Amino acid sequence: MTGVPAVSEPVPGPATGRSGGPRHVAIIMDGNGRWAKKRLLPRIAGHRAGAEALRRTIRGAGQLGIEVLTLYAFSSENWRRPASEIADLMGLLRHYIRAEIAEIAAAGIRLRIIGDYRRFEPDVVTLIDDAVAKTAGNTGTTLVIALNYGAQDEIVRAVRGIVADGLAPADIDTAAIGARLDTSDLPPLDLLIRTSGERRLSNFLLWQAAYAELLFVDTLWPDFDAATLATAVQDFATRERRYGGL
């Protein structure tokens, strides 16, 4: 990005979602492999079940009035997985976009992508670009999919943008960095959920999570559904968010 002015960082405030709950919810979708292993199934079966959970969760987010739903689908570290599994994931991504984009568009959902997804095969990139363009004018829930995303890389790219823009050191503040992040035009992150019992962020939305509420649930991602999301939102509503104050 170029020519982005450094402005005062807005102070985070309480959630103002349509339902009174969080405006922006993010989920680390974890546990597909363990779900499959428990059932003596191949890992791809877990990923396919995870795609069904994705469908349920997107629908639930709309029902709960969540403005932005951000999902960690493929991290920059996932390239370390076996080539066969990566090929299966890319095939599933192709299938999901082709099968779901019409319904997503009809539901008024706006699709956004964060991360360097252009590293994927050209046909996958084309499918993604077409899907984003098809939903660009929608005004319902914004569905943000993180593809080939890593938060540390995102911050590095933001810093490079600051250098390229020639900002003086005195003009570099949190707003200058935030304006150059992939999520710069989205509401602040309110709630970050990780499934499968793991208790780490795994290089996901590190900057954005500074004042987000964190929730770690034991549910494996393929078992996640609208009711699980609603329970998470209810938990969020019980928390007092002070942002460093009293």
Annotated binding site for Mg(2+): 30, 213
CB atoms within 10 A of CB 8: 8
Concerning whether 30 is annotated as a catalytic residue, the answer is: yes
Helices (H), 148-193: 151-165, 174-178
CA 101 – CA 189 distance, rounded (Å): 25
Q: Which two tokens stand for residue 202?
A: 């795994």
CA 219 – CA 29 distance, rounded (Å): 10
Concerning whether 235 is annotated as a catalytic residue, the answer is: no
The strands making up 24-28's β-sheet, listed across from edge to edge, are: 110-114, 142-149, 68-75, 24-28, 191-194, 213-216
Residue ranges at the known binding site? 30-35, 43, 47, 75-77, 79, 81, 194, 200-202, 213
Per the CB < 8 A criterion, the answer to whether 68 and 142 are in contact is yes
Residue ranges at the known binding site for substrate? 31-35, 43, 47, 75-77, 79, 81, 194, 200-202
Q: Which of 30, 148, 182, 190 is catalytic?
A: 30
Q: Which two tokens stand for residue 155?
A: 């911050």
Q: Which of 78, 88, 171, 225 is catalytic?
A: 78
Q: Give catalytic residues, as residue numbers.
A: 30, 78
